[in-house]
Amino acid sequence: MLTPQPDTLLDRLRRLEDRIDQVARGTVGRDMVSVAGISIRSQGGLTVKDSNGQSTLFVGGLTQPASEPHTETRATHAAATGAGALRLAIWDRAGNVIFSDDTPSGAGIGRPYIGGTLSPYRPTDWPATQLPDWDPLQRLMFNRQHPRIHAIVHAIADDSDTTGEIRLRDSASNTVLGIVPVTPGDVEHTIGPIVMPGNFGAICELLLEAHRTAGAGNVRASITYFTGTQS
């Protein structure tokens, strides 16, 4: 006796494609095509539900709820009709929106929130070195979710006779991701986007290092912006 195998997502999509073909031929005249937990509304909205009937994905064809859309319940979105917004929403098992577009503005993402970078404003508060050898000034720890990184580093030499260099180095692989010169005057340096060594989900450590190449003053630097980016 053959044991029935559970449906795969491919099986569901194939059956949904068959139903869509029926709609295109006029053999199914309904506002919504639904099969195996996947539904397509007549205005183009796509809904995917789990085995408990809970919505896990919305794409298009939804009206903006009256309140802040990214905190609305799945039921509110499921009952919405029209073509206004939320255009894209993904829920976790607890019913929280973990990814969505920003429907009101029409551009960018609504969730998740992306944090900024905190750094001292006064150059005299930045870590400094007078060493001729590379000296670690700051450590940056993060979870590797993107294949590349992009950083902005502000750097300065204390006096007109002092110069140096700064760099970002991955401590695990000893890979240098970028080297830039340091001269008197606060200068903004961009490093990347550049490939970040390591595997997806790895806890990575980047070191901001500096050294003095001439003069008797300090070479100072601070990371002022950092993010992961796509390829």
Q: Residue 67: its pLDDT value, please?
A: 43
Q: Where is mean pLDDT largest: 32-46, 73-87, 90-104, 114-128?
A: 114-128
Amino acid letter for position 155: A
DSSP element (H, E) containing 76: helix 74-78
Question: What average pLDDT score do residues 205-212 get?
Answer: 98
Angle in degrees, CA 94, 96, 97, rounded to 5: 145
Contact predicate 146/193, CB 8 Å? no
Q: In this model, does residue 193 exceed pLDDT 80?
A: yes
- Confidence tier at 198 by pLDDT (50, 70, 90): very high
More confident of the two residues 183 and 73: 183
Q: Residue 173: its pLDDT value, please?
A: 97
Q: How far is CA 160 from the centre of its chain?
A: 40
Amino acid letter for position 149: I
Strand partners, 179: 167
- Confidence tier at 192 by pLDDT (50, 70, 90): very high
- 74 token code pair: 């799945």
More confident of the two residues 51 and 167: 167
> pLDDT (tens digit, 9 = 90+) per residue, 10-29?
777 777 777 666 655 554 44
> pLDDT (tens digit, 9 = 90+) per residue, 63-109?
544 444 445 555 555 555 544 445 677 777 677 777 877 766 667 88
Q: Which domains occur in the chain, in start order?
A: 9-23+31-111 (no CATH), 123-229 (2.60.120.260)
More confident of the two residues 79 and 56: 56
- 212 token code pair: 């003095």
Alpha-carbon distance of 135 to 51, in angstroms, equals 56
> pLDDT (tens digit, 9 = 90+) per residue, 143-164?
999 999 999 999 999 999 999 9
